[in-house]
Amino acid sequence: SESADITEIDGGIMEGGGQILRIATALSAILHKPISISSIRANRTNPGLRPQHMTGIQLVRDLCSGQLTGDQVGSQYFTLIPNMLQSGTFVGDTGTAGAVSLLLQIALPCLMFTPNITHITLRGGTNAEMAPQIDYTIQVLKPVLEAFGVRMDCQISKRGYFPRGGGEVTVQAKPIRQLHPINLTNLGSIKRITGRAFVAGVIPFKIAQQMAKSATSVLWRSYPEVPINIQAVQEPKNGVVGNGTGIIVVAETTTGCCLSGSALGRKGIQAEQVGSDAAEMLLRNLSYGACVDEFLQDQLIIYMALAAGYSRIKIGPITLHTQTAMHIATMMTQAQFNVVQASPSSTDSYIIECCGIGHCNPHF
């Protein structure tokens, strides 16, 4: 029967969040496998699809001219029957502060397997809670994806913050015949630490300066020999919607690894605290000797599963997001993942290995 060919996924398992939908939906379109997902975000305080999730799956539906049912805010069930991925110009607009980085997370793998260059415009929050800031996507994720062969350009047209959103990024991506495997197991030594502390809207510039100064002093205590340059930035009035503040710090190593720490300002939290929170997060990620920080692990899993060959990444403690990503990727692709301790004595450093399926772009 027709329905027997649909892969059924329990959206409430393991981490039980939006990431299950993003990986499963992208793989559905890429591999041409119909899916239905139930119990979506079932254990969250606001269960079911949020605007960002709904916009993401609708964007993939558009990319593959698929048939989608159940795509309403609050829905805990949807089915996608994909068609062929196509090139063109597409828009994903959350209408909220839903994170544009998460829209890109669901769409970008699909863009590797289209016939030609594709342009997408994404609207929502660029620097939002509970999601990578768009600066993270550009500075940390993009260089690693380039090793897989991903060619994409991401321009920030406007920044948007919680609760209004209104940010916009434009992405142009070039398809590839097959993704290459990666080997990220040698951290090297830290070459430099850069960063960006920003204020937008009505928030005074001195807040950015305080965040930058505080992050710099925390990092300098641990890495007195390393050049540290964290810029304080006042976002231009015409380049933002709403008010926001935050910081991202990135350590770059001699082998080209990038690890990060970040934080957003919130009411009642001192600027110095926001700056030191971001710095402490970076220091924690560096302490494991890993090549990939805690927020990058799970984002690489789908690419490892699809790549032509054997990938290895060195990580710190494995996150539930990453375990969930491997589970869904294996279920959809049959790629096998293996997690081993990086060294016999180490309990907080691991290597994830994967023999990818070498999915071929049917248009090449």
Please write the tens of the pLDDT for every residue from 100-156. 999 999 999 999 999 999 999 999 999 998 899 999 999 999 999 999 999 999 999
The CA-based angle 317-356-170, given to 5 degrees, is: 80
Low-confidence residues of the chain, pLDDT below 70? Answer: 1-4
State residue 298's pLDDT score: 98
* pTM of structure: 0.97
Q: Which of 287, 319, 337 is the last residue of a domain?
A: 287
Number of domains in the chain: 2
Spatial separation of the C-alpha atoms in residues 138 and 133, rounded to whole Å: 9
State residue 218's pLDDT score: 98
State residue 69's pLDDT score: 98
- Quick check: 251 and 262 in contact, CB under 8 A? no
Q: Does residue 339 lie within any of the structural domains?
A: yes
Verify that 170 and 213 share a domain, yes or no: no
**Residue 225 is part of a domain; what is its CATH number?**
3.30.360.20
Establish whether 296 is an annotated binding residue: yes
Establish whether 298 is an annotated binding residue: yes
State residue 346's pLDDT score: 78
Establish whether 323 is an annotated binding residue: no
Establish whether 27 is an annotated binding residue: no
Catalytic residues: 321
Range of the domain at 230: 190-287
State residue 4's pLDDT score: 57
Verify that 326 and 179 share a domain, yes or no: yes
State residue 1's pLDDT score: 39
Establish whether 295 is an annotated binding residue: yes
Establish whether 210 is an annotated binding residue: no
Q: Which of 287, 314, 332 is the last residue of a domain?
A: 287
Verify that 37 and 169 share a domain, yes or no: yes
State residue 330's pLDDT score: 98
Q: Sign (positive/negative) of CA torsion 66, 70, 75, 78?
A: negative
State residue 10's pLDDT score: 98
Spatial separation of the C-alpha atoms in residues 176 and 167, rounded to whole Å: 29
